[in-house]
Amino acid sequence: MVRSRQFPFDLLTTDSGSAARRGRLHLPHGVVETPAFMPVGTQATVKGLTIDQVVATGAHILLGNTYHLGLRPGGELIESMGGLHRFMGWDKPILTDSGGFQIFSLGEMNRVEEDGATFKSHLDGSTIHLRPEDSMRIQEQLGSDIAMVLDHVVALPASIEQVRDAMDRSIRWARRCSDCAVRDDQAKFAIVQGGLEPALRVSCAEQLIEIGFDGYAIGGLSVGEPPPEMYKMLDIVCPGLPSDQPRYLMGVGRPIDLVEGVARGIDMFDCVMPTRNGRNALAFTADGPLRMRNQCHARDDSPLEIDCPCIACKHSRAYIRHLFQTDEMLGPTLLSIHNLTFYQRLMQRARAAIEQGVYSEFLREQRERLPGPSSDATSQS
């Protein structure tokens, strides 16, 4: 059964030399121009930044997390405050993850059964039972524009039996999420699982499409596998997803992964890398990362990037290094702003390249300039 198309996705153009797509997703709180990057606001805040500062980076959709917000301050409280948009002062679209990532990341603190996942709270050790129905109820209380289904993620590498078991459970949970949802003004995205097994990925996508959702995410990647393996899965999965619905690669990632994902047909991304690395004195630039604690920046009067319009680039590299050397709060804030601006500008350039029919050339350029740093950043930290 195909869900009614209440959240149109306009496929404006595709690139002739790749699978890159330029689109426009219509949601209750605004339009998302795709390809798009979503800053992570796990606990109703993008760490260290005001909402006005996030807006200034060019972001037009944020990600929040059901597990964290459900624990604190709680879905009922946020609902009583007028929903997540009003609570955090953000009037543009919001996507909420389901809590499925915590089933993976809190592996030593939970037990997964068919009914749901039983957690020990990372806050006080209390027992929490999260079912697909609970995840959807909390997301409906939050009032996000896009609610993700609850899924079961396993670390890679894993045995094919483990991967198949988690995938089958994810499909059953997705159906339960679809069946229990009551809000018509909230898009529902399913999540394609299947590890690094091509046949499982294809089968999962086909079964989720049969249920019918408003968009499709690819999950369970960037969890330990080499980037080429992730790209291979995108090459396998994306062609089988509906062309007139958005595709979301969860928890990714490095700048080069974004442009590689776009080339394979991905429309949406999220990751904590811009802000986490910003808090740790690493700045992303078009020619690769800068480690701002390094002595080479001590007397450097140039900005992080000459053509960057962000507030951080009104200062010198020497000044930004000084802020980190003296543990001033402004340093992490400025680099977080710069890094988010860099990611948004990268997506703007990707959209322009697709519109102009030159994405293949753009991709070749980025492969030469953006090797990207290694990082263990993930989508919900």
128 backbone dihedrals φ, ψ, rounded to 5°: -130, 135
pTM score, two decimals?
0.95
Residues 318 and 221 in one domain: no
Residue 349 domain-assigned? yes
**What CATH number does residue 116 fall under?**
3.20.20.105
| Last-in-domain residue among 243, 271, 299 | 271
Residues 288 and 222 in one domain: no
Residues 255 and 306 in one domain: no
Residue 245 domain-assigned? yes
DSSP 2: P
Residue 300 domain-assigned? yes
Q: Helices 255-263 and 359-369: crossing angle, nearest 10°?
A: 160
Q: Helices 255-263 and 330-355: crossing angle, nearest 10°?
A: 20
CB atoms under 10 Å from CB of 151, counted, come to: 31
Residues 33 and 139 in one domain: yes
Domain residues for the domain of 93 are: 11-271
Residues 95 and 120 in one domain: yes
Q: How many residues does the chain have?
A: 381
**C-alpha distances in Å from residue 118, one per residue of 110, 126, 246:** 5, 10, 31
Residue 202 domain-assigned? yes
Residues 234 and 198 in one domain: yes
Query: Pick the catalytic residue: 15, 214, 257, 270?
Result: 270
Residue position matching structure tokens 């509906």: 242
User: Residue 270 catalytic?
Assistant: yes
Measured over the CA atoms of residue 117, residue 187, residue 48 and residue 337, the dihedral's sign is: positive
**Tens-digit pLDDT profile for the chain (381 aa)?**
444 479 999 999 999 999 999 999 999 999 999 999 999 999 999 999 999 999 999 999 999 999 999 999 999 999 999 999 999 999 999 999 998 877 777 666 678 999 999 877 878 888 889 999 999 999 999 999 999 999 998 888 899 999 999 999 999 999 999 999 999 999 999 999 999 999 999 999 999 999 999 999 999 998 889 999 999 999 999 999 999 999 999 999 999 999 999 999 999 999 999 999 999 999 999 999 999 999 999 999 999 999 999 999 999 999 999 999 999 999 999 999 999 999 999 999 999 999 999 999 999 999 999 964 444 333 333
Residues 48 and 138 in one domain: yes
Q: Are 234 and 196 in contact (CB under 8 A)?
A: no
| Cα–Cα distance measured from residue 18 to residue 11, given in angstroms and rounded to the nearest whole number | 15
SS3 category, 357: coil
Residues 232 and 311 in one domain: no
Give the DSSP letter string of 245-259: S-EEETT---HHHHH
| Last-in-domain residue among 213, 240, 271 | 271
Which amino acid does the sequence have at 10? Answer: D
SS3 category, 181: coil
| Last-in-domain residue among 211, 241, 271 | 271
Cis peptide before 239 (omega within 30 of 0): no
Query: Pick the catalytic residue: 15, 97, 134, 267?
Result: 97
Residues 107 and 238 in one domain: yes
SS3 category, 261: helix
**C-alpha distances in Å from residue 215, one per residue of 2, 185, 244:** 11, 14, 9
Residue 32 domain-assigned? yes
Residue 373 domain-assigned? no
**pLDDT value of position 375:** 41
Residues 213 and 329 in one domain: no
DSSP 293: T
Residue 377 domain-assigned? no
Residue 137 neighbours by CB under 8 Å, 6+ apart: 75, 180
Residues 316 and 240 in one domain: no
Give the DSSP letter string of 49-100: --HHHHHHTT---EEEEHHHHHHTT-HHHHHHTT-HHHHHT--S-EEEE-SH
Residues 71 and 206 in one domain: yes
**pLDDT value of position 223:** 85
Give the number of domains in the chain.
2
Residue 251 domain-assigned? yes
**pLDDT value of position 331:** 98
